[in-house]
């Protein structure tokens, strides 16, 4: 599911979970554990990327549709643990976005301290509204944190996805580079962060992201209760199944 290598004092994680790195319970838990383990590892910074042409296509909707409400109730906490482990990681996290980053995959990319995408490699955006599900509390707060406020409603309510130049203009990503320069640029960014004081970086990062922590403490549980209720409704599961049939299942 995940390959890990060291580039000096940088840990490079490459997602290898099928063609699309779709987020299912097992993959979310495995990736979350890697980030938890890296808290106490010698690595000073992390680069997250993926194999092939897709960074992550988001939630595994085929698995969700097949598993029904019981699977949803088990999956959503796993998704939360993944986002929590990456977004609040005390060390620098650089996203090397090699291809499409859709829905939950776009949220995952937004967890990074620096988001670098390969030019014309794919599209990025949150498509949950097209599927018929709201973002869980932490996922929504991560997007709110990461993107310019003037585009939040557009992103959340339309399900639009954007090619690299538009994604850069609208704030989904921080930088666009040629495909062959993606990993060198991501490693350079990670090494810059790694050269800073770890304690100062971790404290400053915590302060930057404090509003997300405060909102989650205030209303996260209530929001997730409402979100789970919607995700597990039969009408929602039917919409998901219809979306899968129309867009993900080949004739």
pLDDT band at 248 (very low <50, low <70, confident <90, very high): confident
Mean predicted confidence (pLDDT) in 23-43 = 98
Q: What is the pLDDT of residues 200-223, one digit of tens each?
A: 999 999 999 999 999 999 999 999
Torsion of CA 36, 17, 171, 202, to 10 degrees: 10
Global confidence as pTM: 0.97
What is the pLDDT at residue 251?
Answer: 41
Determine if residue 145 is left, alpha or beta; phi over 0 gives left, psi from -120 to 50 gives alpha, anything else beta: alpha
What's the whole-number mean pLDDT along residues 95-116? Answer: 98
Confidence of residue 189 (pLDDT cuts 50, 70, 90): very high
Predicted confidence at residue 249, as pLDDT, reads 65
Q: Using 50, 70 and 90 to split pLDDT, how confident is the model at 197? A: very high
Considering the chain, what is the average pLDDT of its residues?
A: 97
- pLDDT at 149 (0 to 100): 97
pLDDT confidence bin for 99, thresholds 50/70/90: very high
The predicted model gives 25-53 an average pLDDT of 97
How far apart (Å, rounded) are the C-alpha atoms in residues 71 and 110?
Answer: 25
All structural domains of the chain, each given as residue ranges with its CATH number in brackets, are 2-181 (3.90.226.10)
Q: Are 93 and 45 in contact (CB under 8 A)?
A: yes
Q: Residue 116 pLDDT > 80, yes or no?
A: yes
pLDDT in tens, 126-155: 999 999 999 999 999 999 999 999 999 999
């Amino acid at each position: 599911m995940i390959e890990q290598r060291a580039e000096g004092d940088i840990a490079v994680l490459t997602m290898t979970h099928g063609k699309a790195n779709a987020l299912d319970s097992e993959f979310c838990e495995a990736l979350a554990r890697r980030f938890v383990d890296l808290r106490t590892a010698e690595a000073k910074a992390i680069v997250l990327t993926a194999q092939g042409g897709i960074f992550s296509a988001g939630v595994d909707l085929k698995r969700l549709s097949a598993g029904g409400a019981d699977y949803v109730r088990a999956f959503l906490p796993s998704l939360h643990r993944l986002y929590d482990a990456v977004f609040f990681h005390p060390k620098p996290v650089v996203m090397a976005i090699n291809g499409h980053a859709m829905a939950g995959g776009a949220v995952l990319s937004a967890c990074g301290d620096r988001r670098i995408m390969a030019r014309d490699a794919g599209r990025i955006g949150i498509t949950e509204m097209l599927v018929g599900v709201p973002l869980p509390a932490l996922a929504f707060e991560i997007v709110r944190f990461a993107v310019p406020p003037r585009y939040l409603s557009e992103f959340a309510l339309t399900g639009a996805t954007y090619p690299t130049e538009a994604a850069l203009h609208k704030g989904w990503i921080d930088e666009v580079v040629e495909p062959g320069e993606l990993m060198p640029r991501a490693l350079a960014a990670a090494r810059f962060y790694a050269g800073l004081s770890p304690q100062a970086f971790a404290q400053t990062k915590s302060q930057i992201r404090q509003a997300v922590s405060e909102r989650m403490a205030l209303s996260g549980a209530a929001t997730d209760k409402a979100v789970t209720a919607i995700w597990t409704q039969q009408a929602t599961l039917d919409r998901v199944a219809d979306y899968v049939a129309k867009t993900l299942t080949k004739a």
